[in-house]
Amino acid sequence: MIERVSIRNFAIIEALEVELFPGLCVVTGETGAGKSVVIEALSLALGARADKSMVRTGTDRSVVTLVLEPEAVLTREVSAQGKSLCKVDGEIVTLATLAERSAGLVDVHGQYDHQSLLVPERHIGLLDAYGGERVAAARARVADAYEAYRAVKQRLDDVTRAAAASEREMDFLRFEVKEIAGARIAPGEDEELETRVRVMQSAEKIYEALARAEAALSGDGAGGEGEGGQGAIAVAGVAKDALAGLAGFGAEFEETAKAAADAYYLLEEIEPQIRAQRERTAFSQKELDDALARLDQLERLKKKYGGTLDAVLAHADAAQVRIDGVENADAKKAALAKELSAAEAVLKTESQTLSELRRAVSAKLEKAITEQLEELNFKNARFSATIETGENGYSENGMDRVEFLLSANKGQPLLPLAKVASGGELSRIMLAFKSVTGDFDGIETMIFDEIDSGISGVTASIVGEKLRRMAASHQVVCITHLPQIAACAAHHFVLEKTADGDGTRATMREVAGEERVREVARLLGGKSVTETTLASARELIEMAGTNV
């Protein structure tokens, strides 16, 4: 619903701020006051084509803002050079985004093309909504069947594409898998080898240091005797035994004796570790050459297949999956083709059921809209909700394409709605549609311009009543010059034009009470408002059931 409209420097409108309300909002005014300019400004904010002629003379830009409750604030600016700027909630967006945000919220019916009913793609949804719960349930079953069908078809397409791979590609993948498998890679092997090579490349230095340490500890190890002919272990043992006899002379001696014993046992533990490390350090040149060659092999594989050994192994796994997929494709394709055939059979059955329901609903819709058109003085109108089945394949809507066609006059062929009429005639046609489908299309606000062109009397009263009934569940804004329609308003606005030395301006305000009666009387009698026209205006308002 539109809560507020702000228009700045648009055509003859210098500044217009107006609050709109739920229900039927009627706008009247003298000819040339700028009523259609307001509709043009609203259409601009909803995504219509911009033109620099819209900018008020002497200003650099026009700005139109619509506050929609509670969806968004839509703003459209047009510069005097013809450049257009769109905003949603203050953020700059594309024109397509602006139109998308407003779509489904507001319909403008008149000479501008914002009517949802002029978009054939929406017709199938309107027809289904008119069909009620039974059609909705059938449509849900079709949507589920289509999703199942689509999922199987996607899997079959994937397998088919995989099977189409060339034998050359398969040979290449098999070579890669064989190369990696032949290397017999162990995770982390390269890091262990690098450490081993560093040791072997420094083996002489490491061996000498370990041998000296072993000799120093044992006194008779591979490196010769330690200092004084005794090893550090033997010397530490002497110290341990000497100090052990002093432990009974106090805590200080006992602590020293314990430290000496700890040192002795630690040296005893270290000596065999050093011996084992020295023995492992011994190696042949062939062992080093083999390790370097293995490292070179692993580095080449890493460079080729991903940078790490984990990546190399993962590449081999992926290649094997690809090979298996191609080699097993025939069996998979046969199984999926069978599954797809079953899914399509279900989809076809559900789609046919939905099509039958739609055809029954379309006959009722055609009858209902034709009756509405007759009431609106289209005596020879013909309406058709055409359904084309099976020509466009399946979708979540089944296999139907729906389009509404109309012949507004006798002898004219059925044509798409957008090609049938324009201006007020098209507005009344849309009113007929909205009277039937308005509760299903989800549109919150409907704006009608020129809806009263070429009608009067009883037809005008019927139009007013239809608008009033529609406004019970929608916000309806209608520009009119007919008193019968104005009398039905819940809120009545007057658009006035003034001129001075600075130019022409249009303003808009709500009228109520006696001021509203006088405006309706003006519509009845023109400039000559008499007691008779005032009484007739009051009677029209009272008959419409609205407040004076």
pLDDT tens figures, 439-451: 777 788 999 887 8
Asked if 37 and 12 touch (Cβ cutoff 8 Å), the reply is yes
Closest CA to 466 of 371, 372, 374, 367: 372
**Distance of alpha carbon 431 from alpha carbon 453, whole angstroms:** 13
Number of H helices, E strands in the chain: 17, 15
CA distances from residue 537 to 450, 456, 471, 520, 522 in whole angstroms, order as listed: 21, 15, 21, 6, 9
Count of domains observed in the chain: 1
Q: Any idea which residue has 């000799």 for tokens?
A: 215
Per cent of the chain over pLDDT 70 is 93
**Distance of alpha carbon 354 from alpha carbon 375, whole angstroms:** 31
Strand partners, 509: 494
**Burial of 363 by CB count in 10 Å (0-12 exposed, 13-18 middle, 19+ buried)?**
exposed
At 220, is the pLDDT very low, low, confident or very high (cuts 50, 70, 90)? low
**Up-side HSE of residue 442: CA atoms within 13 Å toward CB?**
10
pLDDT of residue 39: 87
In a domain, 4, yes or no: no
Closest CA to 39 of 424, 484, 458: 424
Question: Which pLDDT tens digit goes with each residue over 508-548?
Answer: 999 999 999 999 999 998 778 889 999 999 999 999 877 66
CA distances from residue 132 to 72, 120, 436, 440, 474 in whole angstroms, order as listed: 30, 20, 13, 9, 20
pTM for the whole structure = 0.62
Pairing, β 61-68 against β 73-79: antiparallel
Q: Any idea which residue has 């004076």 for tokens?
A: 548
Residue 298 scores a pLDDT above 70: yes
Crossing angle of the two packed helices 309-327 and 285-305, in degrees rounded to 10: 60
In a domain, 205, yes or no: yes
At 422, is the pLDDT very low, low, confident or very high (cuts 50, 70, 90)? low
**Distance of alpha carbon 312 from alpha carbon 306, whole angstroms:** 6
At 225, is the pLDDT very low, low, confident or very high (cuts 50, 70, 90)? very low
**Distance of alpha carbon 24 from alpha carbon 547, whole angstroms:** 12
pLDDT of residue 263: 87
The mean per-residue pLDDT over the stretch 333-348 comes to: 94
DSSP assigned state of 59: -
In a domain, 525, yes or no: no
pLDDT of residue 227: 45
Question: Which pLDDT tens digit goes with each residue over 358-412?
Answer: 999 999 999 999 999 988 888 888 899 999 998 778 999 999 999 999 988 888 8
First to last CA, the chain: 25
For residue 274, give its domain range: 170-326
In a domain, 321, yes or no: yes
List of residues 6+ apart from 473 with CB closer than 8 A: 438, 439
Quick count: other Cβ atoms within 10 Å of Cβ 400? 22
In a domain, 277, yes or no: yes
Report the 3 state secondary structure along 447-480. EECCCCCCCCHHHHHHHHHHHHHHCCCCEEEEEC
pLDDT of residue 431: 85
Quick count: other Cβ atoms within 10 Å of Cβ 36? 18
The mean per-residue pLDDT over the stretch 199-209 comes to: 71
Quick count: other Cβ atoms within 10 Å of Cβ 285? 8
Asked if 514 and 506 touch (Cβ cutoff 8 Å), the reply is no
Phi, psi angle pair for 43, to nearest 5°: -60, -40
**Distance of alpha carbon 224 from alpha carbon 237, whole angstroms:** 19
Q: Which of 9-13, 211-215, 222-226, 316-320 has the lowest mean pLDDT?
A: 222-226
Question: Which pLDDT tens digit goes with each residue over 133-166?
Answer: 999 999 999 999 999 999 999 999 988 877 776 6
Q: Is the dihedral of CA 440, 76, 97, 37 positive or negative?
A: positive
Q: Any idea which residue has 């007013």 for tokens?
A: 464
- Tokens at 75, concatenated: 């703003």
Q: Any idea which residue has 């929609």 for tokens?
A: 68
In a domain, 243, yes or no: yes
Residue 111 scores a pLDDT above 60: no
At 424, is the pLDDT very low, low, confident or very high (cuts 50, 70, 90)? low
**Distance of alpha carbon 369 from alpha carbon 363, whole angstroms:** 10
**Distance of alpha carbon 225 from alpha carbon 46, whole angstroms:** 101
In a domain, 203, yes or no: yes
**Distance of alpha carbon 214 from alpha carbon 504, whole angstroms:** 111
In a domain, 196, yes or no: yes
